């Protein structure tokens, strides 16, 4: 719904002063644990009603008991009575037990299960070495309607880092989708036109999340005038042609694409170092960042579908009640957000965005 505007036609999406949409969800977040969880959970809970919480803690969240305990720690990190629901995920390993996983899903502890190819990204050392090891687990997930979430990159060091997503589609994902046609698969944080094409060509059980950073930056941002650790995440940003394909997909109105920020906080000290961690912390200005892209693409009227409808529809969960409003007002993104000793540099640090989250 586009807000009333006294000066302009109220149907003119691109010039309205505010934008009110159904309360959105974030279908891919890293909330971490301990002090970092305490520092960052509020940012996701402020903008989103629900979030799919990644299980790549150290050690990873594998059992239903660990998932339930982590959910309790997340709620304890938020103010009393906070209206936010963390949706927990189980980290798949070579030895995941199908019965345990199905039980965790039936008990409402796990909403989905996450496939990290071993060593693909942060805290994925316990990930899956060969999807063949997961066959029985994936068949069970298909049967019970439990979504599979995928970090879609091969880990073969012989494969160029910019090709790892496309090669993952060829070598692994296309076979999975073919062999398990009813399995709900979310291809997480897609970064290439190859991924967009694959999702579009697949049946209704294959969807994808798209992050703000992959809509805003291409790989040049990582090397702009020097090496830029705060623009580095995995999968790494690709060429401009891929960014443009992602923008078309996100703003297309297709129910196969939905919001997943992949907010991935790392302290400054862990980013600005000889071997900096992968991950961009975008939770504090997530909706403002997406709204900027949708406005640039003349598609503000499609933000609600992407942010608040396609995700729950795919997962088979109810859409949220209530609304949030974005106002057309300049917002200065700070250089650093307090957390731990050195803080975190947020996405868009030092920039001005044109939308303000009004609650």
Cite the beta strand spans of the chain per DSSP E.
18-22, 26-29, 50-53, 85-91, 110-115, 148-150, 185-187, 206-210, 257-259, 323-327, 331-332, 352-353, 356-357
Tell me whether residue 40 or residue 180 sits nearer to ligand NCD (CB atom): 40
- Residue closest to 288 by CA, chosen among 50, 87, 18: 18
Residue 112 site contact among ligand NCD, Zn ion, none (CB < 5 to 8 Å, cut-off depends on kind): none
Q: Which residue's C-beta sits nearest to Zn ion?
A: 151
Distance CA 3, CA 13 (A): 9
Rounded to 5 degrees, φ, ψ at 325 are: -125, 135
First-residue to last-residue Cα distance in the chain:
15
User: In the bound complex, what is the minimum distance in angstroms from residue 277's beta carbon to ligand NCD?
Assistant: 6
Please indicate if the annotation marks 278 as binding a ligand. Answer: yes
> 């933000």: which residue's tokens?
303
- Decide if residue 151 touches Zn ion (CB under 5 A): yes
Please indicate if the annotation marks 135 as binding a ligand. Answer: no
Q: From the candidates 262, 298, 301, 332, which is the catalytic residue?
A: 262
Residue 270 site contact among ligand NCD, Zn ion, none (CB < 5 to 8 Å, cut-off depends on kind): none
- Decide if residue 263 touches ligand NCD (CB under 6 A): no
- Decide if residue 278 touches ligand NCD (CB under 6 A): yes
Tell me whether residue 236 or residue 331 sits nearer to ligand NCD (CB atom): 236
Phi-psi sector, 90: left (phi>0), alpha (psi -120 to 50), beta: beta
Tell me whether residue 121 or residue 142 sits nearer to ligand NCD (CB atom): 121
Write the interaction track for ligand NCD spanning residues 10-39; mark x where CB under 6 A is met and - where it is not. Answer: --------------------x---------
| 101: enclosing H helix or E strand | helix 98-106
Write the interaction track for ligand NCD spanning residues 118-147; mark x where CB under 6 A is met and - where it is not. Answer: ---xx-------------------------
Strand partners, 86: 51
- Decide if residue 205 touches Zn ion (CB under 5 A): no
Q: Which stretch binds Zn ion (CB under 5 A): 101-109, 148-156, 251-259, 294-302?
A: 148-156
Instruction: Please answer whether residues 5 and 17 qualify as being in contact, where contact means their C-beta atoms are separated by less than 8 angstroms.
Output: yes
- Decide if residue 349 touches ligand NCD (CB under 6 A): no
262 counts as catalytic: yes
Instruction: Please answer whether residues 262 and 233 qualify as being in contact, where contact means their C-beta atoms are separated by less than 8 angstroms.
Output: yes
- Residue closest to 36 by CA, chosen among 348, 289, 337: 337
- Residue closest to 145 by CA, chosen among 105, 173, 87: 105
Footprint of ligand NCD (CB under 6 A): 30, 56, 121-122, 151, 233-234, 262, 264, 278-279
Q: Catalytic residues, which ones?
A: 262
Annotated binding site for substrate: 30-32, 56, 151, 234, 266, 278
Q: What does the binding site for Zn ion look like in residue numbers (CB under 5 A)?
A: 121, 151, 262
């Amino acid at each position: 719904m586009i807000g009333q505007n006294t000066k302009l036609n109220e149907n003119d999406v691109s010039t309205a002063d505010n934008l009110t949409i159904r309360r959105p969800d974030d279908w891919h977040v890293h909330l971490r644990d301990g002090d970092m969880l305490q520092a960052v959970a509020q940012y996701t809970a402020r903008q989103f009603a629900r979030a799919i919480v990644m299980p790549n803690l150290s050690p990873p969240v594998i059992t239903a008991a660990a998932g339930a305990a982590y959910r309790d720690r997340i709620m304890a990190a938020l103010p009393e009575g906070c209206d936010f629901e963390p949706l927990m995920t189980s980290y798949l390993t070579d030895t995941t037990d199908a019965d345990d996983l199905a039980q965790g899903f039936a008990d409402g502890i796990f909403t989905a299960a996450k496939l990290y190819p071993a060593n693909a990204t942060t805290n994925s050392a316990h990930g899956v070495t060969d999807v063949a090891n997961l066959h029985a687990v994936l068949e069970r997930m298909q049967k019970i309607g439990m979504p599979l979430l995928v970090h879609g990159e091969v880990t073969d060091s012989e494969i160029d880092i910019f090709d790892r997503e496309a090669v993952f589609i060829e070598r692994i994902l296309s076979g999975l989708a073919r062999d398990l046609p009813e399995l709900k698969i979310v291809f997480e944080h897609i970064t290439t036109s190859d991924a967009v094409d694959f999702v579009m060509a697949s049946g209704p059980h294959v969807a994808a999340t798209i992050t703000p950073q992959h809509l805003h930056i291409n790989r040049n941002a990582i090397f702009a005038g020097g090496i830029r650790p705060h623009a580095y995440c995995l999968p790494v940003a690709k060429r401009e042609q891929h960014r443009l394909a992602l923008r078309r997909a996100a703003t297309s109105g297709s129910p196969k694409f939905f919001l997943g920020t992949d907010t991935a906080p790392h302290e400054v000290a862990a980013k600005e170092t000889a071997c900096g961690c992968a991950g961009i912390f975008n939770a504090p200005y997530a909706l403002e960042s997406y709204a900027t892209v949708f406005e640039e693409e003349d598609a503000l009227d499609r933000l609600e579908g992407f942010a608040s409808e396609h995700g729950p529809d795919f997962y088979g969960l109810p859409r949220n009640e209530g609304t949030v409003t974005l106002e057309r007002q300049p917002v200065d993104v700070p250089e650093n957000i307090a957390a731990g000793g050195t803080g975190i540099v947020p996405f868009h640090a030092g920039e001005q965005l044109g939308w303000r989250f009004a609650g």
